[in-house]
Amino acid sequence: MLHFSYVVMTALRFAGVLVVFAGVALSGGYFIRGNARSTDGCVPRSAWLGAGPMTGICIVGVGAGLLTGAFLISLFMPNGS
């Protein structure tokens, strides 16, 4: 059981980091594209509150949830793995 918990914790850590990076990349890509379309130099509201950036932020939240799950499992592991 201890080995299984360690494997799950490690998988959640790696998956969480990958998902957070994917969410930041998605949100940042939409943000940069939105800024590039701006003609007057102001950041348009849709560049950071549109559907694309919000999807990226939600993906970051899922990644944070995975990392939180890995952290909670590590609290029960010996030696604070």
∠ Cα 59 63 65 (to 5°): 115
CA quadruple 21, 27, 33, 38: dihedral sign: negative
Residue 71 has what pLDDT? Answer: 94
What digits encode the pLDDT tens for the residues 20-62? 999 999 999 999 988 888 888 888 888 888 899 999 999 999 9
Q: Report the pLDDT averaged over residues 13-24.
A: 97
Q: What is the pLDDT of residue 29?
A: 92
Confidence (pTM): 0.84
**pLDDT confidence band for 81 (50 / 70 / 90):** low
